[in-house]
Amino acid sequence: MHDQSALGISAPTREHADRLANALDEEFLVEVVPGGSYTVRVTPIGGETEKLVTLFNAIGRWLSEGGLASCDVKYGQRGLTILPATADNLGDPTAFLIERARQLEHALASRVVIEQAKGLLAERHGLTVDEAFERLRHKARSSRRRIHELAAEVIRGEAHV
């Protein structure tokens, strides 16, 4: 039965899920749930704050040691992304927020470049914006390139799509 106080931590493989489950001690009830990916369901026994800090530190170490970039943690209907711990500070929420802000800034900048390239291609070739995006995406995939890099070249006039 699914406990609403359990945290669900996504793991890409069974091996990663088992490593996390094994890293947690008797202070937690742990269950590995298979699916498209694996979920490690963790319930703190007694619900003490120190146990949750221990859990998040263990998740950070697990990410670092497993070479994983992040994992998603779900609690009921809520979720958050956890990044690997650093050797200097295992549970630094400021470092997490700064890294998340950098990721979002990069995503936004990439999106702006892609939108500009879509508009340019649509105007040049008499396409709809969706058709322009499909053309850009197809060219990026067929040349095994990142779409935002190709979009930047289109804007600079260095690539013809």
Q: Tell me the pLDDT tens digit for each residue of 35-66.
A: 777 888 887 776 565 677 777 778 878 888 88
User: Could you identify the residue written with the tokens 């105007």?
Assistant: 123
Q: Is 113 helix (H, G, I), strand (E, B) or coil?
A: helix
Do 149 and 117 lie in a common domain? Answer: yes
**Rounded Cα–Cα distance for residues 105 and 35 (Å):** 32
pTM (2 decimals)? 0.43
Inter-residue contact 133 to 150 (CB < 8 Å): no
Q: Is residue 102 part of a domain?
A: yes
Residue range(s) defining the domain that contains residue 106: 94-156
The predicted-structure confidence for 131-144, as pLDDT tens digits, reads as follows 999 999 999 999 99
> Angle at which helices 129-142 and 147-156 pack, to 10 degrees?
110
Q: What is the pLDDT of residue 100?
A: 67
Do 100 and 143 lie in a common domain? Answer: yes
Q: Is residue 161 part of a domain?
A: no
Structure-token pair, residue 46: 């007694």
Q: Is residue 2 part of a domain?
A: no
Q: Is the model's pLDDT at 90 over the cut of 60?
A: no
Cβ neighbours of 84 (radius 10 Å): 20
**Helix, strand, coil percentages for the chain (3-state, nearest 5):** 55, 15, 30
Q: Is residue 61 part of a domain?
A: yes
Of 8 and 137, more confident: 137
Do 83 and 12 lie in a common domain? Answer: yes
Percent of the chain with pLDDT over 70: 81
Do 70 and 129 lie in a common domain? Answer: no
